[in-house]
Structure 1
Amino acid sequence: MQKKTTTPPPARRLAAAAVALGSCLALAVPAGSAGAAAPAEAVQTVFFGDSYTANFGIAPLNHIDKPEGWCFQATENYPAVATRQLADQGITLRVQADVSCGGALVHHFWQKQELLPGSGLTVPAQQDALKEDTRLVVGSMGGNTLGFSSILKQCSAKLRDQALVPGAPVDPDSPAGECKDFFTSGDGKAWLDYKLEQVGYELEEMLLRASYRSPGAERVLVGYPRLVPQDTVKCLTAAPGQTDLPFADIPADALPVLDQAQKRLDDVMKQAAADDGADFVDLYEHTGSTTACDGANRGIGGLLEKSELELLGQAIPWYAHPNEKGRDIQARKVADKIAEVLNR
């Protein structure tokens, strides 16, 4: 496999101007501390992101009678829940748009996204929702650019024929049972290293574009909840009421590899936010006890566990996305960070 040459994004040439327009770093004052006061006016807000912001798997869906319905955006996704939680604290978000869409890659922040391959159905670039008066931009992005679903398909023979899961295995000729060795040496390791590098510079461009579009906006990048626990032995037991293991047929020795890939993604996202003066919600750090392998306490639906959605009468699996418990954790952490940002 030939490694692609990394080309710096065009936005870097605009970095000086964009950063000058962006939000400056300030010392954070914890929400609720002495002297902190909620904003007196409603905060113009845009939510962006991929299936983890849209909360794939939770019913009912927004835009069900429109092409955007294929974004699988839940009516009660974490942006909606966090907005209500903040209202209860006296902080009003006036949501200008929630453009989160399942399957979105980072570059869909500035390019239109095709919803179904070959269908011609598209949604506009997510940045189009940002306005000059937008004061808060919040969302999760990066997992699809990394190709996490391709990693899962590389390691699961059962997942390879699941059409709703975007992407393909990195190397379909390499058996799923050998994915640990595939990602820790040779072409597989080189592919993973390159994809993480790509996520970093594309997130940099995304954050710069957000500042350019909305010069006065605070930007909050939201990480991903942890999928695999530190103790992977827990993944060898099915959750209550389930027959499939949380990660189906993915080999036990590959689970730490999946976790390490996610941890590296979390570090890349955290660094991109820090480098661009944005805020970061580190969900990975705070969800180690609610992974897909934590039984009745799981905040992540199992890979092939039935979600709340159906398509043509068939139940759609969670594909390792947050269930309602996980969604509530996302919402609480995001609401806490937004309150901190707006009160400082």
Structure 2
Amino acid sequence: MGAALLFARAALAPAGTAAASTVTAGRTTVDYVALGDSYASAPLVPTQVDATCLRSSQNYPSLIAQSRSATLTDVSCSGATTADLTAPQADGVPAQLDAVNRRTDLVTLTIGGNDIGFSTVLGTCAQLTATDPAGTPCRTHFTGTGADRISDAIARTGPKVAQVLRGIHQRAPHARVVVVGYPDLFPDDGVGCTSKTVPLAMGDFAWLRDKEKELNAMLARQAVKGGARYVNTYTPTVGHDLCEPTGERWIETFAPETPAAPVHPNATGERVMASAVETALPRHSWHR
């Protein structure tokens, strides 16, 4: 979602950079704007079309636009937080909401993971694993004061997501707005895996799973309250988390074996996310 992408930026060849990528597939009156973070932009998934935002031509917004013959303005950007929707992001990336206007018919949004610092949390968990490989060193670290710091961060992020949704509706009052949740990163049964490429303590898998579910539940609540549709990408990806073997894994490990950023969807994961959004959209029209 954020810090884990530092190596990905270094690995990406310094190709030309654009503030947004626009795809037009056939003649259409549907104007689609994609907003969000790295789970929307798909860093390192071929083919990368924006070196600054690590945006792929095969991310879920591009796949939806291709399937529906829509005009896509994709401003999703790796590392984005809710603040980057209304103000310029680092590296001179414009505020994402600048792409939304009264002509916009559809908006998809994947956001919140960087607001709670999830990549930093994972980095901390990986560092603590050696102290208690069979236990819960990460959960203990973040809950040892009696409060769950990640739950608190999720609660603080809710109003920020609500503000983003209000901003979308103000700019595009007739648009259909879809909040896209995060896919299943960890084994849904809570049973972890032992691997050099997944350096997490066995007891922390269930806690991390629960924190992701908590984040998704918050996004679902804010979508309903904010006049948007929530799309669950978690359930369709259960059984294809980062502990699964290559070929069955749609979320890559901390050391990806297929082109994708660490603990992010690979190309198959992005296709499944696209399918989940498509299922939630009307077959013949995207207008509200």
Deviation per residue, 1:289-334 (Å, 9 max, x gap): 11111223111011122442xxxxxxxx731100111111011111
SS of the counterpart of 1:289? Answer: coil
1:154 aligns with 2:124: yes
Contact 1:177–1:250 (Cα < 8 Å) also in 2: no
Contact 2:236–2:272 (Cα < 8 Å) also in 1: no
1:221 aligns with 2:179: yes
Number of paired residues?
Answer: 255
Q: Which residue matches 2:55? A: 73
- Identity over the aligned pairs, expressed in percent? 28
Contact 1:301–1:321 (Cα < 8 Å) also in 2: yes
Contact 1:57–1:321 (Cα < 8 Å) also in 2: no
Q: Which residue matches 2:249? A: 298
Higher relative contact order (CA 8 A, sep 6+): 1
Contact 2:188–2:239 (Cα < 8 Å) also in 1: no
Distance of 2:136 and 2:127 partners within structure 1: 8
Q: Which residue matches 2:224? A: 274
Q: TM-score, normalised by structure 2?
A: 0.82
1:184 to 143, 149, 152: 143
1:326 to 253, 264, 269: 269
Distance of 1:276 and 1:58 partners within structure 2: 31
Contact 2:32–2:105 (Cα < 8 Å) also in 1: yes
SS of the counterpart of 1:325? Answer: helix
SS of the counterpart of 2:286? Answer: helix
Q: TM-score, normalised by structure 1?
A: 0.69
Distance of 2:83 and 2:287 partners within structure 1: 31
Contact 1:106–1:142 (Cα < 8 Å) also in 2: yes
What letter is aligned with 2:278?
Answer: A
What letter is aligned with 2:71?
Answer: R
Distance of 1:307 and 1:104 partners within structure 2: 23
1:101 aligns with 2:101: no
What letter is aligned with 1:48?
Answer: L
From the superposition, tell whether residues 326 and 180 of structure 1 become closer, same or farther in structure 2 (CA, over 3 Å): same
Deviation, 1:41, is 5.3
Where does 1:6-17 land on structure 2 (aligned, <5 Å)? Answer: none
Deviation, 1:231, is 3.1
Contact 2:28–2:71 (Cα < 8 Å) also in 1: no
What letter is aligned with 2:202?
Answer: A
SS of the counterpart of 1:335? Answer: helix
SS of the counterpart of 2:203? Answer: helix
Distance of 2:158 and 2:61 partners within structure 1: 24
Distance of 1:158 and 1:329 partners within structure 2: 32
1:45 aligns with 2:32: yes
Distance of 2:128 and 2:35 partners within structure 1: 31
Contact 2:31–2:103 (Cα < 8 Å) also in 1: yes
What letter is aligned with 2:75?
Answer: V
Contact 1:50–1:101 (Cα < 8 Å) also in 2: yes
1:265 aligns with 2:215: yes
SS of the counterpart of 2:234? Answer: helix
Deviation per residue, 1:191-241 (Å, 9 max, x gap): 2232111221000000000000111111001001010112344523x5xxx
SS of the counterpart of 2:66? Answer: helix
Q: Which residue matches 1:194? A: 152
Where does 1:228-239 land on structure 2 (aligned, <5 Å)? Answer: 228-233=186-191, 235-236=193-194, 238=195
Deviation, 1:158, is 9.1
1:255 aligns with 2:192: no
What letter is aligned with 1:213?
Answer: R
SS of the counterpart of 1:230? Answer: coil
Distance of 1:150 and 1:144 partners within structure 2: 9
Q: Which residue matches 2:100? A: 130
Contact 1:183–1:257 (Cα < 8 Å) also in 2: no
1:110 aligns with 2:82: no
Deviation, 1:181, is 1.1
Q: Once superposed, what is the RMSD of the aligned Cα atoms?
A: 2.3
1:342 aligns with 2:286: yes
| Structure 1, unaligned runs of 5 or more | 1-39, 64-68, 87-91, 115-120, 160-175, 239-243, 309-316
Deviation, 1:61, is 1.1
Deviation, 1:73, is 0.3
Moved over 6 A (4+): none
Distance of 1:217 and 1:286 partners within structure 2: 26
SS of the counterpart of 1:46? Answer: strand
Q: Which residue matches 2:45? A: 58
